[in-house]
Amino acid sequence: MAEIQMALDSLDFDATMALAEQVAPYVDILEIGTPCIKYNGLKLVKALKAAHPDKKILVDLKTMDAGEYEATPFFEAGGDITTVLGASDMATIKGVIKAANANGGEAQIDLIGVEDKAAVAKDAAANGAHIIGVHTGLDAQAAGQTPFEDLKTITGLGLNVKVSVAGGINKDTIQSCVKAGAAIVVVGAAIYGAPSPAESAKELRALVDAA
């Protein structure tokens, strides 16, 4: 069964906690988005884990250097998954994997901006990555890009890793992502931008479970 990851992309601490409370019944992973973690830091990881001990917390660090050093405190604070850029050196990726393994967590390698996504995915998987993230970022989405073709390419490699997909996923596209082999579907704006985030999350949960 595919997991739903809710991207909490607000900067505001209280709004982030309130949104998590609304959507938690329908999602598996609460993601602290990159702007949000930069703004709020470890305090938010601790608060979110305390409020939702039954959910996985993904900290979207998008680490680019000093992998083990940067990721370790976020695992120690209650994060279950942290992200590292696929564009970074393999030594950095291996550092985040090491930090994850030392804390019973998982490392997600984010392919955002990577030219040869298949090559990086294979290399990261061979080095023990837990999750490969196919990701069209917000700025690339604004320029009309989507993650769907890349998702098929990466799941088609048959690597022994989970594949997650992010980038403008909504109720019209979520089932095709699951059918294309995504183990984790990430949703941000389609939930937090909806008139009722809870209703939107509930609808997406039903679609994923029926896919």
Ligand X SMILES: O=C(CO)[C@H](O)[C@H](O)COP(=O)(O)O
Residue ranges binding ligand X (CB under 6 A): 7, 9, 33-34, 60, 137-138, 141, 166-169, 186-190
Query: What residues does 2 pair with on adjacent strands?
Result: none
Nearer to ligand X, 79 or 137 (CB): 137
Q: What is the dihedral of CA 183, 180, 108, 52, to 10 degrees?
A: -30
Nearer to ligand X, 64 or 91 (CB): 64
Nearer to ligand X, 104 or 195 (CB): 195
* Residue 178 φ then ψ, to 5°: -65, -45
CA distance 88 to 63: 8
Q: How far is the CB of 73 from ligand X (least distance, A)?
A: 21
Question: Exposed, middle or buried: residue 139 (CB in 10 Å: 0-12, 13-18, 19+)?
Answer: exposed
CA distance 204 to 188: 12
Q: How far is the CB of 166 from ligand X (least distance, A)?
A: 4
Nearer to ligand X, 9 or 28 (CB): 9
Residue nearest to ligand X (CB): 188
Q: How far is the CB of 187 from ligand X (least distance, A)?
A: 5
Residues in the chain: 211
In sequence order, the 6+-apart residues with CB closer than 8 A to the CB of 74 are: 37, 42, 45, 59, 61, 82
Q: How far is the CB of 158 from ligand X (least distance, A)?
A: 25
Nearer to ligand X, 61 or 93 (CB): 61
Q: How far is the CB of 128 from ligand X (least distance, A)?
A: 23
